[in-house]
Structure 1
Amino acid sequence: MTLQLTDVSAELGGHPVLHDVTLEVRPGELVALVGPNGAGKTTLLSVMAGDITPTSGTACLDGTELRRWKIADLARERAVLPQEQRLAFGFRVVDVVRMGRAPWARRPEEDLDDVIVAESMRQTDVDAMADRAFPTLSGGEKARTSFARVLAQQTSLVLLDEPTAALDIRHSEQVLSRARRLAADGHAVVAVLHDLTVAAAHADRICVLADGRLRADGPPAQVLTPELVAEVYGHPVDVITHQGRTIVLPHLVPIDQEASCAPVH
């Protein structure tokens, strides 16, 4: 399914956050949303999920506005990994992953629940902790468990908000490799990422947000220029190519400037 946003603006608490954003996410591609803190990335992902209705413009999935989708139908077409992994009760890991199968209850697909849950846990390396209570997990273990829930949901559109924030190198690569596999298998995948080098290594396209506006949209090598990155993030960078990969290196802050910013006691 194709996700289309046309001239989308959105507010939070009466405060404008997004301004006239137009973009399309097609099946078979992994799109990275990047930008400085407060750029509107999470809000944009919420609009894509149908959790926030635009104040103007349209957000459509498969040609139908998200606000017109029935909740149950939408849950079978898009899955969301939020920034924070919170649960009110001490569910076991396997039960959390099984929550991803809820949209398929009382349907023929329900017969595959056990197999899909087991495979999703294996792919995210949480199968060995199946009986552990979710609140006892580390931040990274919670993130991997929640990603397993997203995989178990088996949707056409997958939305990931900072999926690697709490993960070590091995598991970060594992999650993003799985996201790339989803795209290769025909899913549409959107991931909010902070590390520009990581985004460039895995994404087919990078969308740069700043002040709630889409500043650039295209292949990593074309979008991540020193000029644009420095302007958007307010910090100079070098962009180099190493073994075919785009690498973004921020300039170091001189020690004397760093000291001048330290609080006085």
Structure 2
Amino acid sequence: MKFISWNVNGIRACLTKGFLDYFNEVDADFFCIQETKCQDGQVQLELDGYHQFWNYAQKKGYSGTAIFTKHQPNHVKYGVGDEEEEQEGRIITLEYNDFYLVNVYTPNSQRDLARLPYRLNWEEKLANYLISLNQQKPVVYCGDLNVAHEEIDLKNAKANMGNSGFTVEEREKMSRLLSSGFVDSFRYLNPTKTDSYTWWSYMNKVRERNIGWRIDYYIVSEQLKDQIEEVDIHSNIYGSDHCPILLKLDLNNRKLNNN
């Protein structure tokens, strides 16, 4: 099974920058996007063979997530039940017989860390939700998680210590989740690989010089780790300040749905 995750930083803009070319070429079973920045009815995608699930933010031009999949889920859930969080359209969960797929766009703590308390509370609720799902069946958790977990996950770690996305508190939240029965699929296969990033600032020549951060992830339940076949960062794909990431799982022995 092939999974793709991509923060498109506005699906309407990304559609003018080759989104559909990449979508058709990669031919994923599950294609998750974040930061759609659109409202219901503003984008009509004709994706043959795919079911579409959108979670729109109430605020126009803000946040939002979507999943396009070849496999009809048994159940779809938007958010985790928190009214404030659901207004921002940040979480979609698809349930299949033997696993959950959770697509997430984590709130940014903002440059002055004004939203850090909100972010940490949000992370706590999400972690509890993921752990509860994992107690029922394995989880594939993906998205723009807005944190570089370790120093190896960004170019200039020392200069960014304490900045949004690299605070001690945000990194600890990731560590706690991973210690609760989850695996960072990229690091599982590439424990020491450097210069592998998924986001770059729009500042001049930053992406060309690969001064970036790895803040987009596929995190899976520990019981799925031996079924990870491939993880890749498609840094050659433009159209956003993020690039797509790929996960291949051997799910041949797992049923997707009741059909």
Shorter-chain TM-score bucket reads 0.3 to 0.5
Structure showing the higher helix proportion among its residues: 1
| TM-score with structure 1 setting the length | 0.33
Higher relative contact order by CA 8 Å / sep ≥ 6: 1 or 2?
1
| TM-score with structure 2 setting the length | 0.34
